[in-house]
Structure 1
Amino acid sequence: MAKRKVVITQNIDENYINAIRELLQDWEVIAGKDSSIWSNHIKDAEIIVGWKKELASSVSEQESKVRWIQTWSAGVDSLPLEKLEARDIQLTSANGVHAYPISETIFALMLSLTRKIPEYVRNQQKKKWDHSGLKLEIHEKTIGILGIGAIGKETAKIAKAFGMRVIGVRNSLKNEENVDKIAVMDELHSVLPECDYVVNTLPLTNNTRNVFGAKEFSLMKISAFFINIGRGETVVEKELIHALQEEQIAGAGLDVFENEPLDQASPLWDMENVIITPHTAGSTEYYDKRVLEDIFIPNLKNYLTESKPFINVVDYGKGY
C-alpha cells in the first residue's frame, strides 16, 4: 500500500522536517523549493504546503489525492479558488505571519512621510542643510484602518502608543480592542474625511477590487496620507496618481501595485511625496518559524485527529 504523502514546496530547516516526519511516521515527506524535487509527487500528495502556480493543473484533476493545501502567503487571490472549492480541498493561509513586520512597515512609512525623512535623505545626498518646512506630528491624529485582521489589529495597537484615534473599517460592526470606532465598508465614504492617515490592509476579493479610486481620494483631507500594504488591485492606480499630482492628498506609502514589478515608466517613481517599497512589507527573519510553528504544525496535528485543519481556514465564499 502506497504511503500517504506531504509535499512542502519550500526550503525549510532540517529541524522542522524532522518534527513533521515525527508526526507523520507512516507518511512520505518531500521538501524543497526546486520543482524537480516535488513535481513528480504532486498528484499523489494528500497535503501540499506552499502554493506554486504550476500546481494548478495537477490539483484540479479528479485523480489528484490532494485534500489540504497550506499556503505560504496570507493572500489566496492567486489560487484557483473555484476549482479548489469544487474539489472540496481544504485551504489554509499564512494569515497572521505578517502582523509584526507589516505593522512596522506601516508606521515606518507614516513616520517617514510625516517627518519628511525622504526629503532629508535627498538633502543629505546633496549636502544641503535645509529645514524643508517640517511641522507635522503623528501624535493624536486619526488613522483609518481598512481591514481589521491580524495586521489591522497590530497597527491599531501601535497607533494607541502614539495617542492616535483609531477608526476601523471592516465587514462587521464587532468591537475591537484599540479601535475607537468601527464602521462597515458601506460607510467608508463617511469615514475618509475624518482620517489623517488611511491604511489599506484589505485582501483582494471580488468586493474589494478597485474599491479605492477617484471618489475615495477626493473625500480624503488634502493633508492626509494614504498607505497601501494590502493588494495593488484594490486601488485604481491611475486615479491614485491623479490624486497625488493634483495634491488632493499629501502623499502615499506604497508596497503593492496593480502590476508588479512597478513599470519603470510609472510617474510614482519620481514623486517626492511617495515612498515605494517592492512588496516587501511582510519580509521577516521569523517567517518560516511562524508559518510552521504557529499555523502548519498545529493544523497538522488537528488534521491527523479530526481530518481537518482549524487555523486560518479560508472561506471560499468570502475569498479569504
Structure 2
Amino acid sequence: MNNRKLVITHNLSQNLLDQVKELIPGWELIASKEQTVWQEHVKDAEVIAGWKRRLDEYCLGQDSKLKWLQTWSAGVDSLPLKKLAAANIFLTSANGVHAYPISETIFAMILGLTRKIHTYVKNQQEKVWHHAQMKQEIHEKTIGIIGVGAIGSETAKIAKAFGMKVLGVRNSDRPAEFVDKMYTASQLHLVLPQCDYVVVTLPHTKETHHLFGAEQFKQMKPSTYFINIGRGQIVIEDALVQALQEGTIAGAGLDVFETEPLNADSPLWEMDNVIITPHTAGSTEHYDQRVVENILIPNLKNYLSGQKPSVNLVDYSKGY
C-alpha cells in the first residue's frame, strides 16, 4: 500500500496538477483549499504545499511524516518556525513570485502620491475640479530600496526607466544591477537623508522588527514619501502616524500594517497624504503558476532525487 502523500492546500488548474502528478507516479496527491478535504490527510503527508492557520495542530504531532513544507507566501514569520526547525523539516518559501506585481504596486503608489492621482480620484467622486497644487515628478529623483532581493531588484530596474538614482540597503554591500550604490543595514542612517522615496521590501525578522521609528522618519526629508510593502511589524505605526501628521515626511503608501485588517479607528484611513491597500501588493493572475512551475516543481525534483529543496530554502537561524 502506498504511503507517500503530497497535500496542496490550494485549488489548482488541471494543467498545474498534471505537471505535479507526472513527477510523483504512485504518490497520493490531494489538492484543495477546503479544510474538510485536506485535514484528514496532512497528518500523514510527507510533503505539504501551502500553509494554513493552525495547520501545525494536524501535521506536527509525534507521528508526523512531514519532511518538507513549501509555503504559498514569501513571508514565513507567521509560521511555527521553532517547531519546524526542531522537527528538521525542510521549509521553502514562495519568495520571488511577487517581484512583478509588487514592484508594479510600488510604482503605482509612488506615481499616485507624486502626481496626486489618489487626490483626483476623491475629487472625481465629489465632482470637484481642483488643481490640488500638483507639481512634483519622479524623474531623476533618488529612491532608497531597503531590502534588495527579487522585489527590490525589479523595483530598481523600473526606477532606472525614470532616470532615478537608486540606493540599496541589504545585509551585504555586494553590488547589484540597477543599484547605483549599495549600503549595509548598519548604514541606513546614511541612506535615508538622501532619499525622495524610501521603499521597504524587507521580511519581518528579529533584526527588522520596528526598524523604522521616530528617529528614522526624522532622518528623512520633509518631501520624502515612504512606501512599505514588506511587513507592518517593521514600522512603529504610531511613529509613522505622527510623522505624517506633523509633516516630518510628505506621505506614505502602505500595503501592510502592524494589525491586519487595519483598525477602523486608525488615523491613517483619513489622511489625504496616504494610500492604503489591503495587503494585496503581491496579488496576480499568474501567482499559482509561478509558485508551481518556478518553485514547487524544481524543489520537488531535487527532493525526489534525495537532495535538499534548493529554491528559497529557509535558514531557520535567519528567519527567512
Task: Tell me if structure 1 keeps the 8 A contact 2:74–2:96.
Answer: yes
* 1:109 maps onto 2:94 in alignment: no
Aligned-residue offset at 1:2: 3.6
**In terms of mean alpha carbon deviation, does 135-144 or 303-312 score higher?**
303-312
Aligned to 1:275: 275
Unaligned runs of 5+ residues in structure 2 are none
Aligned equivalents of 1:150, 1:174: Cα separation in 2:
15
Aligned-residue offset at 1:19: 1.9
**3-state SS of the aligned residue for 2:305?**
helix
For 1:123, give the aligned amino acid. N
Aligned to 1:153: 153
TM-score, reference length from structure 2: 0.98
Deviations 1:35-86 (A, max 9, x none): 1111111121000000012211233323100000000000000101111011
**3-state SS of the aligned residue for 1:145?**
strand
For 2:310, give the aligned amino acid. F
Aligned to 1:217: 217
Aligned equivalents of 1:135, 1:270: Cα separation in 2:
23
Aligned to 1:167: 167
Aligned to 2:119: 119
Aligned equivalents of 1:68, 1:126: Cα separation in 2:
53
**3-state SS of the aligned residue for 2:269?**
helix
Aligned equivalents of 1:118, 1:249: Cα separation in 2:
17
Aligned equivalents of 1:84, 1:108: Cα separation in 2:
37
Aligned-residue offset at 1:18: 1.9
**3-state SS of the aligned residue for 2:198?**
strand
Aligned equivalents of 1:123, 1:53: Cα separation in 2:
41
**3-state SS of the aligned residue for 1:306?**
coil
TM-score, reference length from structure 1: 0.98
**3-state SS of the aligned residue for 2:7?**
strand
Aligned equivalents of 1:129, 1:173: Cα separation in 2:
48
Task: Tell me if structure 1 keeps the 8 A contact 2:44–2:59.
Answer: no
Aligned-residue offset at 1:14: 1.5
Task: Tell me if structure 1 keeps the 8 A contact 2:9–2:51.
Answer: yes
Aligned to 1:260: 260
**3-state SS of the aligned residue for 1:157?**
helix
Task: Tell me if structure 2 keeps the 8 A contact 1:114–1:136.
Answer: yes
Unaligned runs of 5+ residues in structure 1 are none
Aligned to 2:187: 187
Aligned to 1:248: 248
Aligned-residue offset at 1:23: 1.0
Matches of residues 24-173 of structure 1 in structure 2 within 5 Å?
Answer: 24-173=24-173
**3-state SS of the aligned residue for 2:258?**
coil
Aligned equivalents of 2:54, 2:212: Cα separation in 1:
31
Aligned to 1:235: 235
**In terms of mean alpha carbon deviation, does 218-227 or 10-19 score higher?**
10-19
Aligned equivalents of 1:202, 1:294: Cα separation in 2:
22
Aligned-residue offset at 1:15: 1.7
Aligned to 2:196: 196
Task: Tell me if structure 1 keeps the 8 A contact 2:60–2:66.
Answer: no
**3-state SS of the aligned residue for 1:54?**
coil
Aligned-residue offset at 1:228: 0.4
**3-state SS of the aligned residue for 2:54?**
helix
Aligned to 1:295: 295
Deviations 1:191-235 (A, max 9, x none): 100000000011000110100000000110000000000000000
Task: Tell me if structure 1 keeps the 8 A contact 2:43–2:60.
Answer: no
Aligned equivalents of 2:105, 2:221: Cα separation in 1:
22
Aligned-residue offset at 1:17: 1.5
For 2:107, give the aligned amino acid. F
Q: Which 4+ stretches in 1 moved above 4 angstroms? A: none
Aligned length: 320
Aligned-residue offset at 1:130: 1.8
Aligned equivalents of 2:231, 2:279: Cα separation in 1:
9
Aligned equivalents of 2:3, 2:276: Cα separation in 1:
48
